[in-house]
Structure 1
């Protein structure tokens, strides 16, 4: 069996199949005052055993306006990657929309190393080539899950400036200095083709003084212009920082934060919140979510949840109670015109028509609280002593 082909620009540029999805232009039913919905580029990543979770996450976060790149890293066997590609190719909705690609040439991504930066930048660069018109980039792990529909999310984002970056960040390094910044590692994912143990050097190094290091969470919502700055920009800091962090443990939590907060162009575009719900253990470390977290998770107003438990009942509760999604089906939205007794999304209308629900109101409340009275300005890239 041949390897799944690498994504090509032609696949993303093709229009939806008009034979499967009759064109029904419903723009007349949309208020002329409504801004046009944005588009999101999703990189959905997983490792060995995550193929089913990636596919479930794809359906939960699917919308025809967006573009999706699925990445099973090299810890997964090739047969899983091929099955994932075949699952995408066998779904009539995904085939007709032509907005889902599977990365054929996988990367290693050692969570405790620096290779996740390489994998993320690789995925982002492919999405820049595949889809020319998206507005935000979201990197989802297989254990993340949406708490609002894409209609909810796109509706709220359509009223926000397209230069806002949502990212938890702080300059307070604390214990991370001794454990994650001064140690020197060699990440085998950057140069070896086979799985190998991480190498830790005995030496330590000083923190940089040419720029300030910031840290935060892995999950971010970043603008296209900022992603282009990191990959294509003439400012050399993204490349300089990439070289510095290549020997740093868990460096993905420092890379985008440090670039953004050291950039005069972008540091005033950041919101110090990533719109994701996470729970922590008594030591302050992220923990897996369970049924006991459900009410607080929904009440938070977050758009996504992190470290969602592997138990199917918890995901089923989100699918059925929040997203109103059936098994192996996308979340119904304004673009779905089919009969309710069948898969409503098998008949496709105008993808610009959104049908926001309660999730939009929860997310709106969260964002209004963050942006009210310009309080967010005092939390932008603040240097703590």
Structure 2
């Protein structure tokens, strides 16, 4: 709770330029009207350990270098949210999302705890989580604070993982062009074509220059890999072991 106790103000909320946040002189006590999300991690010496929480589909995952300690840490800012959960956050029929939003406005790195705390305090969504954040990462040995930059040699592993996201990439790296060409089928300076594109592709005509129903989905090979990954995660015996 060390990150939640200090009261911070983000001037970027009301100023055009984004100056650094500043701290109030007072601190507030630990909340008892709701459960503040923390990731409780049991760490073992010289082991890299993941603690991930995914809500239906909210996901968060954090990586730590172990030192035989039990720590209370925040979740990941990389999250995947379901439509039903987002509707709950927007409509807030029990006012919980709004209360937590007001609280987290003055929390450092609030994106690592807001959605996580909403889901853990909502009976409707609590424990609807899957222990993965759907990201493809490659770490150095021993691990650095950030995953290593992906390159062309990581392409096959990235594709076969079925993950929906990957990082880190260098700007304008050739690997990004490979992803555009082979997976997304995106033309230079164009949009990613989908089932809503009705035009026929040829050498110069953009198939998305003519479009129809935007709700039409035509899953490709990578979407099927993602579906297989989610099925594996939700059918494994320990997927409920790291929930709220």
The residue that corresponds to 2:190 in the other structure is 329
Cα deviations by residue, 1:275-298 (Å, 9 ceiling, x for unpaired) = 233455656644463205433322
**Residues 202, 278 of structure 1: alpha-carbon distance in 2 compared, 3 angstrom cutoff:** farther
TM-score where L is the length of structure 1: 0.46
Q: Which has the higher contact order (CA 8 A, sep 6+)?
A: 1
- Asked whether 1:344 is paired with 2:207, we answer yes
8 Å CA contact retained: 2:7, 2:28: yes
**Residues 344, 368 of structure 1: alpha-carbon distance in 2 compared, 3 angstrom cutoff:** same
5+ residue gaps, structure 1: 1-176
1:330 and 1:191 map into 2 onto residues whose CA distance is 33
2:190 and 2:82 map into 1 onto residues whose CA distance is 28
8 Å CA contact retained: 1:338, 1:346: no
- Written as runs of structure 1 = structure 2, the 5 A alignment for 1:95-244 is 177-178=1-2, 180-201=3-24, 203-214=26-37, 215-244=74-103
What is the aligned-residue RMSD (CA, Å)? 2.8
Task: Please give the secondary structure, in 2, of the residue aligned with 1:365.
Answer: helix
- Written as runs of structure 1 = structure 2, the 5 A alignment for 1:247-262 is 247-262=106-121
2:75 and 2:219 map into 1 onto residues whose CA distance is 30
8 Å CA contact retained: 1:212, 1:258: yes
Cα deviations by residue, 1:85-139 (Å, 9 ceiling, x for unpaired) = xxxxxxxxxxxxxxxxxxxxxxxxxxxxxxxxxxxxxxxxxxxxxxxxxxxxxxx
CA-CA distance at 1:199 after TM superposition? 1.1
2:236 and 2:137 map into 1 onto residues whose CA distance is 26
Cα deviations by residue, 1:328-374 (Å, 9 ceiling, x for unpaired) = 22233333331332322223355555443220231122111111156
- Asked whether 1:360 is paired with 2:223, we answer yes
TM-score where L is the length of structure 2: 0.69
Task: Please give the secondary structure, in 2, of the residue aligned with 1:274.
Answer: coil
2:236 and 2:148 map into 1 onto residues whose CA distance is 34
CA-CA distance at 1:273 after TM superposition? 2.7
8 Å CA contact retained: 2:131, 2:240: no
5+ residue gaps, structure 2: 38-73
- Written as runs of structure 1 = structure 2, the 5 A alignment for 1:370-385 is 370-373=233-236, 375-381=238-244
- Asked whether 1:290 is paired with 2:147, we answer no
8 Å CA contact retained: 2:7, 2:27: yes
1:313 and 1:255 map into 2 onto residues whose CA distance is 36
The residue that corresponds to 2:57 in the other structure is none
8 Å CA contact retained: 1:325, 1:332: yes
The residue that corresponds to 2:124 in the other structure is 265
